[in-house]
């Protein structure tokens, strides 16, 4: 929605644009069964590194036969040179590289999957495990980047995540990896350089990695870019929409989501305008699909003068 008072007399309805990079983990040929085939309570033990080591098996003569080799350790926090497709994949076997060299992804968290439920070991591609990672990685990103919850919402920096492959999980791997990436608005990823930890807590960092656009929110030809690039609009504030649905977390509907941001975004435009009687502002709200993916907020946009 674009608004003006009274410079623009006709309000333009903004299309809901996918800005939040929240990607569900999907593995081809996966099962959502609550138990790995043949697994039982007590079949595996967990070590401190988040890997599960299979016990030795008993041979027919009663001797012990060495079980499978302990899986490779979980990944370390490092940097990677990924394209967008690789960043959106469920698994990644790319080699790490020094963060001083060109890269497009940087690991900010490595954690352990909680796969044990009621004595059973959940499959790494089960809904519960995938939901765990899809929740923990985005939740940890604001603390890494700084700038509070709204910091990353008003930036191009996004979280992506990876889990072990099915064979790796069968061998006992139970880690997950969270990386930060920056979509470039052209179907690729921006190179990451410099310190990212706490970057959005600084004005310089926000001016570099802030969410900007080459046109107004309703311009179909506009691209979302980092504010370090040439731009004409900038996302300046967030409108919270969580809790506005009929059941609290239900999508409130397009009309309700659209109406919720009109007053606060107009007020932001008025407060930042040099002329309180003549200013332009924009509002962008999530679609039902974006809401289901976790975007429970809208954004206020202002033209850059």
For the chain of 305 residues, list the mean pLDDT of each consecutive stretch of 10.
39 29 27 30 32 44 52 83 95 92 96 80 81 91 95 96 91 93 95 95 97 92 95 96 69 92 94 88 93 91 92
Q: Return the ∠ at Cα 165 (arms to 159 and 171), rounded to 5°.
A: 130
CA distance 35 to 8: 60
Residue 41: what are its φ and ψ, rounded to 5°? Answer: -60, 130
- For residue 187 the two structure tokens come to 């179907």
What pLDDT score was predicted for residue 162? 95
What pLDDT score was predicted for residue 278? 87
Q: Yes or no: say if 116 and 45 are a contact pair by the CB < 8 Å rule.
A: no
pTM of this structure: 0.75
SS (H, E, C) 29-63: CCCCCCCCCCCCCCCCEECCCCEEECCCEECCCCC
SS (H, E, C) 187-200: CCECCCCCCCCCHH
Q: 268: part of which helix (H) or strand (E)?
A: helix 262-272
Who's near 92: CB < 8 A, 6+ residues apart? 80, 82, 86, 162, 177
CA distance 201 to 217: 25
Residue 245: what are its φ and ψ, rounded to 5°? Answer: -75, 170
**For residue 208, cis peptide bond before it (omega within 30 degrees of 0):** no
- For residue 16 the two structure tokens come to 């809901």
What pLDDT score was predicted for residue 71? 65
What pLDDT score was predicted for residue 114? 85
Q: Give the count of beta carbons closer than 10 Å to the beta carbon of residue 296.
A: 19
What pLDDT score was predicted for residue 190? 97
CA distance 27 to 89: 9
What pLDDT score was predicted for residue 243? 73
Q: 108: part of which helix (H) or strand (E)?
A: strand 105-112
Rg for the chain, CA atoms, rounded: 23
CA distance 60 to 264: 74
- For residue 178 the two structure tokens come to 């969270």
Q: Measured in Å, how far apart are the chain's first and last C-alpha atoms?
A: 19
Q: Which residue has the tokens 């691209």?
A: 223
Q: Yes or no: say if 239 and 283 are a contact pair by the CB < 8 Å rule.
A: yes
What pLDDT score was predicted for residue 1? 57
């Amino acid at each position: 929605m674009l608004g003006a008072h009274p410079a623009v007399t006709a309000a333009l309805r903004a299309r809901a644009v996918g800005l939040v990079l929240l990607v569900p983990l999907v593995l081809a040929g996966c099962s959502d069964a609550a138990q790995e085939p043949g697994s039982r309570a007590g079949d595996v033990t967990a070590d401190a590194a988040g890997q599960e080591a299979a016990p030795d098996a008993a041979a027919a003569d009663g001797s012990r036969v060495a079980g499978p080799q302990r899986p490779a350790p979980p990944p370390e926090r490092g940097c990677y040179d990924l394209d967008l497709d690789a960043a959106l994949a469920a698994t990644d076997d790319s080699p790490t590289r020094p963060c001083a060299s060109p890269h497009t992804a940087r690991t900010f968290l490595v954690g352990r999957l909680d796969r044990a439920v009621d004595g059973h070991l959940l499959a790494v591609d089960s809904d519960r495990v995938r939901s765990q990672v899809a929740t923990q990685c985005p939740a940890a990103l604001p603390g890494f980047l700084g700038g509070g919850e709204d910091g990353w919402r008003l930036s191009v920096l996004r979280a992506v995540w990876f889990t072990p492959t099915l064979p790796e999980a069968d061998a006992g791997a139970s880690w997950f990896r969270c990386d930060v990436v920056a979509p470039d608005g052209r179907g690729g990823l921006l190179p990451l350089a410099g310190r990212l930890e706490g970057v959005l807590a600084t004005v310089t960092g926000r001016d570099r990695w802030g969410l900007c656009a080459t046109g107004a929110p309703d311009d179909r030809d506009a691209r979302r870019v980092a504010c370090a690039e040439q731009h004409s609009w900038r996302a300046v504030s967030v409108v919270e929409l969580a809790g506005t649905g009929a059941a609290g977390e239900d999508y409130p509907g397009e009309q309700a989501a659209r109406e919720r941001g009109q007053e606060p975004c107009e007020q932001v435009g008025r407060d930042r305008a040099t002329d309180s009687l003549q200013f332009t502002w924009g509002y962008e709200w999530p679609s039902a699909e974006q809401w289901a993916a976790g975007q429970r907020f809208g954004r206020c946009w202002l033209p850059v003068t």
